[in-house]
Chain A
Amino acid sequence: MGCEEIRDLLALYAGGESYENERVAVEAHVAVCAACARELDQYREARANLASLREGQAPPGTFKNLWSGVRADLFPQKSAPPRLAWFDAALRYAAVGMVGIAIGVLVHVTTRRDAAPAATSVASQPPVNIVSPVQPATFPNTSRGFLFRPRATPAAPRVEPDGNYYLPRVESIPAGREKDF
């Protein structure tokens, strides 16, 4: 390691924050490099001065936070080679657009209903007015979301009393042979 790389490690070494391999490299270097040894001494002196400050003068944990932030400052993550900004933005918009189109197609396929047969007129019969011919299916379970709603299937009219044509609906058929007297 050269002096430039070692100097980056000196502050960590002085603060006791260096890894084992870094510590070995620094000690080997300062043993033969007077300049780096002097710089290390300066770091140690600064740390000693800082340590002499009373805790009450700084918020608790200041030193710990201070030193833990040193590495991040010394070795910022190397960013990827910059791309053209307009290219990145265009790529993002295109991706969002494609996802939107896919959702639209999925919604259309899963929620479309078959066309109702055309009404035919029967001259001799009065029009059949079914108030609630097919009740839309309800989905109390919210996990069955809109996207996955099954296609509506033609069903018999529900026998609800709130239509024009009355037929009470049986709620249940109780088990057992109990009788009321």
Chain B
Amino acid sequence: MVCTSLLVLLLSAASFQESAKEETTLQKLEKEISGIVEKVRPSVVRVHADDLTFSGVIYSKEGHVITDASGIDRALEIRVTVGDRSFTADRVDADKRTGIAVLKISAKGLLPASISSEGCKTGTQAIVVGNALGMPSCSSFCTIGGIGRSILVRGQKFENMLQMSAAVLPGDCGAFVSDSAGRLVGLVHSAGALENGDEKLVPAPAFAVPAAWVKFSADRIIKHGKMVRGWLGASLLPLSDAARSHLGLEATVGAEVTRVERESPAQKAGLVKRDILVSFDGKAVSDLDALQWKIATVEEPTKIRIVFLHNGETRTVEAQIELDPQK
């Protein structure tokens, strides 16, 4: 009897100890976030462009650093601080369309970021690691609230942006946006500062360039020494179902030309405002994101057959996709 009681007592004590060791969900989450920040931190650098300080991310072991293009636009001197080491940086080039710039430093032992090859979805949990207000490796946890956003910054339009709920602060421009695996899913670009009628600031989203476009711009700049991407010189808008029905087009097919740039390949091909682009390079125009990627990835002037409707008349022309002048 006594032995049985002792055995029960010992078992109870053992199970109590085991339950005491078991971590709560929150504790696990904390550890995982801390682990991600620790993993990402070595790849985050401070960029000093004259008197401005912001963030950047190590892109290659060879010393390529990616950051925001507008921050270094007119800088006379650029320095990059990696941990407690400071280096003079050369500006390789920038992609004005995505706002991504590539710098080059002569440093060894760099830990480049791992770039995610998967696209973000709305609701993806992310961690921003940057240099908010000059404080090294500040981090904030956030949700990707939207993808494919267009924003206007200093009169220039940026597309395909990730919208984030992160508390992004001055100095975070060029910061690392990490997914739950510590991979780069975006590079912080800008933030809103919405105001209400009483001139008080209200919470506003921050925006980041998605990893796919970051990688595209950085790879092209590193490969060519300058930004090389294709250019049509037109703006397109997906057609409404009613317009498709009226024009006798299949579902999802067709995009309206809303703007044509002067001296652009689109103008030379005869496209004008309100034309309907139906086919591009033998494929029906339905997914504008895919079309944008296809045109951007052109590396040299290329002739492509396009089909469009002009006042109800079908026209087929050879348009030459040229290299983006990066105006």
Contact = CB atoms under 8 A, between A and B. Distances in A.
Interface stretch (B36-44, B51-59, B101-109, B244-252): B51-59
B200 A155 contact: yes
A157 B132 CA distance: 11
Interface in A125-141: 125-126, 128-130, 137-139
Main DSSP-derived SS at the A contact region: loop
Contact of B170 (A125, A138, A153, A165): A165
B173 A164 contact: no
A5 B162 CA distance: 96
A181 B155 contact: no
B192 A173 contact: yes
Contacts of A179: 150, 159, 235-237, 288-289, 292
A181 B200 contact: no
Given A166-B54, A167-B168, A159 B150 contact: no
Interface residues of B, number: 57
B70 interface: yes
Interface string A145-181: 0000010010111111101111111111110111111
A74 to B, nearest CB: 62
Contact of A171 (B97, B152, B236): B152
B151 interface: yes
Contact of A168 (B49, B189, B266): B189
A137 B201 CA distance: 10
B159 A164 contact: no
Given A126-B134, A155-B200, A168 B171 contact: no
B191 interface: yes
Nearest to B73: A161
A165 B169 contact: yes
Contacts of B157: 174, 180
B235 A171 contact: no
A173 B152 contact: yes
A156 B170 CA distance: 10
B308 to A, nearest CB: 13
Contacts of A125: 135
A95 to B, nearest CB: 36
A181 B233 contact: yes
Contact of A164 (B51, B151, B192): B51
Contact of B235 (A155, A170, A173, A180): A180
B152 A172 contact: yes
Given A150-B198, A172-B152, A166 B238 contact: no
B201 A156 contact: yes
Contacts of B191: 159, 167-170
B95 interface: no
A170 B152 contact: yes
Contacts of B151: 170-174
7 contacts: A155-B200, A159-B191, A165-B53, A165-B133, A166-B68, A180-B235, A181-B234
A-B complex: 9 closest residue pairs judged by Cβ atoms: A165-B171, A165-B170, A168-B190, A166-B54, A181-B232, A137-B199, A167-B170, A170-B192, A166-B52
Interface of A: 125-126, 128-130, 137-139, 150, 153, 155-161, 163-174, 176-181
Given A137-B199, A158-B201, A168-B189, 16 more contacts: A126-B135, A129-B134, A130-B170, A138-B199, A164-B53, A165-B169, A167-B172, A167-B173, A167-B188, A171-B154, A172-B151, A176-B150, A178-B150, A179-B288, A181-B234, A181-B292
